[in-house]
Amino acid sequence: MVKRTLTLGIAAVLLFSGSSAAFDGGTYHRGANLFCSQCHTMHASESHAGLPSEPGAYPRTYTPQPKLLKAADPVTLCLTCHDNQTGIPDVVGADVNNLNDRSAGFFGNVDMPNDNGHKIATGLEPSDLCDRCHSNLPDFRDASGFMTASVSCIDCHNPHGNSRSRNLQRASSPGSEYPFCYYIRPGSTGLASYESANIGYGAPSGMPNSTQGVEVTDMCYDCHHSIFNNTDVDTTHVKHPVYYSKDAKRNTISQGDAKGSTVSSHWISGTGAGFLETPRVHFVVRGALTFAAAATVAASNGVFCLSCHKAHGSDRAFGLVFSPTPGGEGCDQCHNKTAI
């Protein structure tokens, strides 16, 4: 098993081609890196490997599954490689690759409740996406299912690849997504391209979304739309602002300076409260078209979903990237309340 895992890892590393190009077009499972037989079997039987990247013992037989999949459920199939396989991004629990900080974090165990991020589960169909939260459709006001809703890998990722970063797709309407303003540090290839520190986020600055892209926020909005309903009361937010250009919600950290709710100079300094235990959180840079631009710290930086949350999850409640207690660690990177 160790030998197979190692071989898989080597094969995967060889095949990965991280890219610093705009919109990270080099994601695996697409184009020349889309290998049908990694996930599908035509006759539920393999007398030998078809590809060098499919090592292990042969002959193999599979229990025939719909869509010719090699496992009964897409999640199970994805995790065949993406859990505990050296050299392949590990998205569940501890990281077998020992990355410092996975950019998307990690899920809990499959089919188990997860207060620390998205609950990943089997038995889901893309067609039941809305029903998972809106349990009593057509009453869309009833979102009682949200508390226990689950996700499948293929809700957010196109298993056959697309031209989007990480093969991200809008869960409700795959194929309708714009490119994402998602940039990888130049030179970061293979697993390094999954390190949080090697990812930068941009936001459009008025150019067409199809060319400049949109924030990754657009992915989150697809399901978590209610949290964007931020109507101020007496000029005070009732929900934390989230940068989302498509709704003309473009916050900057400096916006709170006048009222003292934020301290942009503290954010820029990168030291003291909020930074003691937590590396600088992610932010968006309007108009950034490169990793360098997207990594530029300024008072005009915007806060978005991934500033505070890991897309998959983390070891903290709500998939937060920092511990909110004591003293608002992490929050204080922008707000600096502990210093008051």
142-171 positions binding other proteins, by CB under 8 A = 160-163
Q: State the minimum distance, in angstroms, from the CB of residue 64 to other proteins.
A: 3
Task: Decide if residue 176 touches other proteins (CB under 8 A).
Answer: no
Q: Nearest-CA neighbor of 103 among 215, 192, 9, 219?
A: 192
10 Å Cβ neighbour count for 186? 14
Q: Nearest-CA neighbor of 53 among 85, 83, 84?
A: 85
Q: State the minimum distance, in angstroms, from the CB of residue 45 to other proteins.
A: 5
Q: Going residue by residue from 108 to 147, which x/- string records binding to other proteins, judged by CB under 8 A? A: ----------------------------------------
Task: Decide if residue 76 touches other proteins (CB under 8 A).
Answer: no
Q: Give the one residue of 14, 21, 51, 339 binding other proteins; rule: CB under 8 A.
A: 51
Q: Residue 308, SS3? A: helix
* Angstrom distance (rounded) from CA 228 to CA 224: 8
Q: Give the one residue of 1, 2, 3, 42 binding other proteins; rule: CB under 8 A.
A: 42
Q: State the minimum distance, in angstroms, from the CB of residue 241 to other proteins.
A: 35
Q: Give the one residue of 5, 7, 19, 65 binding other proteins; rule: CB under 8 A.
A: 65
In terms of CB distance, is 47 or 236 closer to other proteins?
47
Task: Decide if residue 45 touches other proteins (CB under 8 A).
Answer: yes
Q: State the minimum distance, in angstroms, from the CB of residue 217 to other proteins.
A: 24
- Per-residue HEC secondary structure of 118-153 comes to CCECCCCCHHHHHHHHCCCCCCCCCCHHHHHCCECH
Q: State the minimum distance, in angstroms, from the CB of residue 182 to other proteins.
A: 17
Of the candidate spans 61-69, 83-91, 239-247, 327-335, the one that interacts with other proteins by CB under 8 A turns out to be 61-69
Cα atoms in the Cβ-side hemisphere of radius 13 Å centred on 51: 16
* Angstrom distance (rounded) from CA 308 to CA 311: 10
* Angstrom distance (rounded) from CA 156 to CA 17: 21
In terms of CB distance, is 157 or 335 closer to other proteins?
157
Q: Residue 198, SS3? A: helix
Task: Decide if residue 68 touches other proteins (CB under 8 A).
Answer: yes
Sheet with 199-203, edge to edge strand ranges = 182-184, 199-203, 284-286
Q: State the minimum distance, in angstroms, from the CB of residue 127 to other proteins.
A: 11
DSSP-assigned beta bridge partners for residue 302: 284
Q: Nearest-CA neighbor of 180 among 152, 157, 150?
A: 157
In terms of CB distance, is 5 or 163 closer to other proteins?
163
Backbone angles phi, psi at 46, to 5 degrees: -140, 115
8-37 positions binding other proteins, by CB under 8 A = 30-32, 34-37
Q: What are the tokens at 58?
A: 């042969």
Contact 145, 129 (CB under 8 A): no
In terms of CB distance, is 48 or 259 closer to other proteins?
48
In terms of CB distance, is 162 or 193 closer to other proteins?
162
Residue 51 amino acid letter: L
Q: What are the tokens at 25?
A: 């077009």
Beta strands 284-286 and 199-203 are parallel
Q: Give the one residue of 66, 138, 208, 326 binding other proteins; rule: CB under 8 A.
A: 66
Task: Decide if residue 59 touches other proteins (CB under 8 A).
Answer: yes
In terms of CB distance, is 63 or 325 closer to other proteins?
63
Task: Decide if residue 64 touches other proteins (CB under 8 A).
Answer: yes
Q: Which residues bind other proteins (CB under 8 A)?
A: 30-32, 34-37, 42-51, 59, 64-68, 160-163, 175
